[in-house]
Structure formats: C-alpha cells, structure tokens
Chain A
C-alpha cells in the first residue's frame, strides 16, 4: 500500500506543481492585463472547472496512444501520462482562482499603490504578494481535484500493479472485487494524505513565504 500512496502523492503533486507553474502566471496575465476577448477567455477558464477527468484521460490517451500523433514517446501506461492528464485538470482551476484573487487585490490596492509612486513592475509584484493567500488556495484546490480523481488515472495509467496503481484506482479495483471494507480504508488513507498536504499548505498561507 505504501508504494500506491507514494505514487498518488507523486503524480498528483507533480500535476499540481506543473499546473500551478502554468496557471498562476496565466491567471495573473489574464487578470491584470486588458485585451480583446478577455471576457470570453475568463468564461472559458471557468467552464473548464467542469472538465471531466475521464475526458482529460481520453484526450491524453488519444494523443499518446501508439496509434496517435505522439505515440512514439511511449508515455501511455506510465506515471508520466497520468501527470499530463492531471495537469490539464489543474490548469483551468488554478488559472481561474488566480484571476479572481488577483483582480480582487488589484481593485482594492491599485489606488494606494499608485499614490505611493510604484512603477508598473512594482505594482504587479505588490499585487501578487497581497494575493498570496488566494494563490495558495488555488494550489490547494488544484491538488484536491487531482488527488481525488480516478477517470484519467485509470484510463492513461492502466492501474498496473507496481507501476501505475494509485490510491483511487486501487479503490476501484478493490470495489470491483467486492472488497468494500478494504476499499474504504484505502479511501481513508487518501483523505489522511490530503489532510497532511493541506495542513502544510495552510502553514504556507499564513506565513506568507514569498
């Protein structure tokens, strides 16, 4: 069970890190910059909150299948494919929450910052700093989404014993075999793991480490 738990952490953790690395700058950009079609972009981002994990899995499957366009990389049925599919789920979530946080902060401190004579670059830095709590929240929600998902992990990972089995796909397997109690305890392990991660992120939130 330990390797399954560690793999869950690795896959979902990496997906959260990669997704946030893309989503936070993207969200800041969309939130703070004026451009044509901004409203449409924001709407699209929020719509993708509902992007089904199994659909993300299917898209990645299509692309990385041997018969697909990027099949030569041989990524299918490896943790890498699972990370890619989960990153696609994290990006819209982190982007959207970043947009909201950043816009909110910007609105409330914009005048103060200008009055204090900040340059454009300094004001962006200040906004991001003030939005820190919201940004960590974005990462937490992104992580929550992917640690809990099973559709993508099952489809592109294949639930291979010792290779791509994570907590959620293990729960599917045990449930399929009728071992409901064991599946339930795996679920509790998952929640405990999530709890530890969120406690850590909460600490970050409050310490304002930037």
Chain B
C-alpha cells in the first residue's frame, strides 16, 4: 500500500518537474520591468504599455515593489529593466555596474501634506526645508506629528535629503522620537491613510495624493507646501547590464528605453491624465538611438532597426513601425 502511494507521489512529482522543465523555454520572451508601487498605482503603465506592446509585439511583465527591492531585482538580474525614481540609489546601481545606463524619462513633484487648515502654516514656508523645520520644531514640542515612509523608497530618500539640509543625517532621523515622528515602513497610500487617521503631516508624491483625494479616502488632509525645486521627483529608465547578467532581454529593454524617450513615448506620457491632473511631465533629453550602426539624433530617431531586432525576440509580427523620418 505504501509502495503504491509512494509510486503515485513519484509520478505526480516527476510529472510536475517535467512540466516545469519543458515550459521553461517559452518562445514568448516578455520584457520584465521592475517599477515602484507608486508608479504602478498611478495607472500610467496600464495606459502606455499597451501602445509599446502593440508596436513591438512584446509583452511587458510589470513587477511593482518598493524602490529598494526594484533595484535589488536589477542587481540580481531577475528583471530586464527598471523604471524608478530614486536618483542617488540609481547612480550607485549604475556605478556598481549593474545598470547599463541611466536615462531621464519624466518627473512629477513631491508635496507636503497636512491636516486641512494647516495648523503649522507650512503653506507659507520659504522652501521645503523651512516647512520641515516648522514640522520638527512643533513635533518636538508635541504639537504635530509626521508620518515617514521609513523604507527604501524614492520618497523616503527625498525626505532624508530635506532633513539633511537642516543638519540631520539618516541615523539621526531614525532616532527622532516616535512620539511625533512615525516610521511606518509602508507604501505611500498607507502612509497617507495613516496621516489622515493621526492628523499628521507627511511627504507624498502628487499622483498618489490626487488618487487618494479623488476617491475621498483622505477628507481631512490637504496639500500644504509645494513648488520648491528640491521637491522634484525624477523618474529614470535603467536597462540591466547584459554583460553581467547575460540572460536578460536586452534588445527589448533597449527598445523600451528608446521608446519611452522618443517623441511618441514622451507625448503619450504627457497625455496621461487622471483625477483631473496631468500626473507626469516628460523631460527626456534628445537621445541617440541605442541600437543601430547609424546614429540618429533627435527624439524621433528611433530606428526601424530597433523595432525589427526587438520583434526578433517576440512572437508576433510587427504590424506598425515607429515614425522614423530621420532614420538614415
């Protein structure tokens, strides 16, 4: 009896392993993109990716995690390309050799959010540092609270940068009293929800804030201070270095990067509106195409060659091509 059961178990497991090994070499090689939860939750990718997928014939698999984890996925070679917004960490990633290049794509803004009525009058601050100083002074006096991401996110990096202008480095920030400085370790949406519950101030990207506001999830919060160029939130696209991780879908990663910064891609990003606002502002500098023996300058120069080499990795025929007037 035991023999029979063991035999069945062996067959089932053998079958499963065989299935796994046989299905590993899919002809469909999709592009694996790691991005942050705030980027994903804004809905931008659901809007722009179908256009790229249609043009290239390649499917894009999006994995949305925190910035730190996204960069780790790139370091380990578990994804092909990153779209993140954490400039310091990105530079380290490229400098360490895991990222092939860092290309600016678009930006939006961080804003300071607080209880409606803005009891600390952060709205009338000289700059972001000044607003943070008001929060710090009132916090330590027991008159205000601040909820921090306290994770590896781009938002947290920005927050730390502002604290550093006031002379506080990361280890000092980490020991701010928890009576007013709440280190949540959560995503942006959850932090806003927490700030709503605690009548606290926080730093948020504007897209997540608009989303929460438009769905009336945070009726007691409002944007208070904004506009300082220090609150600029830069997004970049970084293909994973194929010399270190030879298996990555490099051609399609480059095609994706080129498309994002092409005139078509940039226009599409600018056209994305939600909650009554344009959420992302394209700011790529004119690029030379990544692939091709001819160099084409200008944002229009996305070579036909890029498209056809990309489709070599994807199962479908390309039915359309990028506009490529300036291809030589």
CB pair A66–B1 under 8 Å, yes or no, is no
CB pair B76–A159 under 8 Å, yes or no, is no
> Interface code A69-94, partner B: CB below 8 Å = 1, 0 otherwise?
00111111100100100000000000
Instruction: Check B2 for interface membership: any CB of A closer than 8 A.
Output: yes
- CA–CA, A65 and B247, complex, Å: 12
User: Of the 9-residue stretches A24-32, A39-47, A195-203, which lies at the interface with chain B?
Assistant: A24-32
> Interface code B57-83, partner A: CB below 8 Å = 1, 0 otherwise?
000011111000000000111100000
- CA–CA, A145 and B75, complex, Å: 32
Instruction: Check B87 for interface membership: any CB of A closer than 8 A.
Output: no
Interface residues of B in 1-53 (CB under 8 A from A): 1-2, 5-6, 8-9, 12-13, 16, 20-21, 23-24, 32, 37, 41
Instruction: Check A176 for interface membership: any CB of B closer than 8 A.
Output: yes
User: Of the 9-residue stretches B144-152, B173-181, B186-194, which lies at the interface with chain A?
Assistant: B186-194
Residue numbers in B under 8 Å from A25 (CB-CB): 2, 5-6, 9
User: Of the 9-residue stretches B111-119, B210-218, B267-275, which lies at the interface with chain A?
Assistant: B210-218
Instruction: Check B55 for interface membership: any CB of A closer than 8 A.
Output: no
CB pair A18–B16 under 8 Å, yes or no, is yes
Number of interface residues of B (CB under 8 A): 35
CB pair B13–A18 under 8 Å, yes or no, is yes
Instruction: Check B245 for interface membership: any CB of A closer than 8 A.
Output: yes
Instruction: Check A166 for interface membership: any CB of B closer than 8 A.
Output: no
CB pair A66–B63 under 8 Å, yes or no, is no
Residue numbers in A under 8 Å from B13 (CB-CB): 18, 21-22
- CA–CA, A12 and B301, complex, Å: 48
CB pair A163–B61 under 8 Å, yes or no, is yes
CB pair A178–B9 under 8 Å, yes or no, is no
CB pair A77–B1 under 8 Å, yes or no, is no
Selected contact of A75 from candidates B24, B245, B247, CB within 8 Å: B24
Given contacts A25-B5, A66-B247, A176-B190, contact A17 B77 (CB under 8 A): no
CB pair B20–A75 under 8 Å, yes or no, is yes
Residue numbers in B under 8 Å from A21 (CB-CB): 8-9, 12-13
CB pair A66–B245 under 8 Å, yes or no, is yes
Instruction: Check A207 for interface membership: any CB of B closer than 8 A.
Output: no
CB pair A176–B37 under 8 Å, yes or no, is yes
Given contacts A65-B78, A73-B24, contact A178 B193 (CB under 8 A): yes
CB pair B189–A178 under 8 Å, yes or no, is yes
Instruction: Check A128 for interface membership: any CB of B closer than 8 A.
Output: yes
CB pair A121–B24 under 8 Å, yes or no, is no
CB pair B77–A67 under 8 Å, yes or no, is yes
Residue numbers in B under 8 Å from A66 (CB-CB): 76-78, 245, 247
Instruction: Find the residue from B8, B9, B193, B247 having the highest chain A CB count within 10 A.
Output: B9
Residue of A nearest to B7 (CB): A25
Given contacts A176-B187, A177-B211, contact A159 B63 (CB under 8 A): yes
Residue numbers in A under 8 Å from B9 (CB-CB): 21-22, 24-25
CB pair B20–A73 under 8 Å, yes or no, is yes
- CA–CA, A25 and B9, complex, Å: 8
Selected contact of A28 from candidates B5, B20, B65, B78, CB within 8 Å: B5
A97: shortest Cβ distance to chain B, in Å? 16
B150: shortest Cβ distance to chain A, in Å? 17
B208: shortest Cβ distance to chain A, in Å? 9
CB pair A14–B16 under 8 Å, yes or no, is yes
Selected contact of B211 from candidates A83, A159, A178, CB within 8 Å: A178
Residue of A nearest to B19 (CB): A80
Instruction: Check A125 for interface membership: any CB of B closer than 8 A.
Output: yes
CB pair A125–B1 under 8 Å, yes or no, is yes
- CA–CA, A28 and B217, complex, Å: 53
B49: shortest Cβ distance to chain A, in Å? 10
> Interface code A111-137, partner B: CB below 8 Å = 1, 0 otherwise?
000000000010011001000000000
A100: shortest Cβ distance to chain B, in Å? 18
Given contacts A21-B13, A25-B6, A74-B24, contact A176 B189 (CB under 8 A): yes
Residue numbers in B under 8 Å from A163 (CB-CB): 61
Residue numbers in A under 8 Å from B21 (CB-CB): 73
10 contacts between A and B (CB under 8 A): A17-B12, A21-B12, A25-B9, A65-B78, A73-B20, A74-B247, A159-B63, A176-B37, A176-B187, A176-B189
Known interface pairs A124-B1, A178-B217; 8 further A-B residue pairs with C-beta atoms within 8 A, sorted by A's residue number: A22-B9, A67-B78, A73-B20, A159-B64, A160-B63, A176-B41, A178-B212, A179-B215
A interface, CB within 8 angstroms of B: 14, 17-18, 21-22, 24-25, 28-29, 65-68, 71-77, 80, 83, 121, 124-125, 128, 158-161, 163, 176-179
6 shortest A-B CB distances, which residue pairs? A125-B1, A21-B9, A66-B77, A158-B63, A67-B76, A178-B217
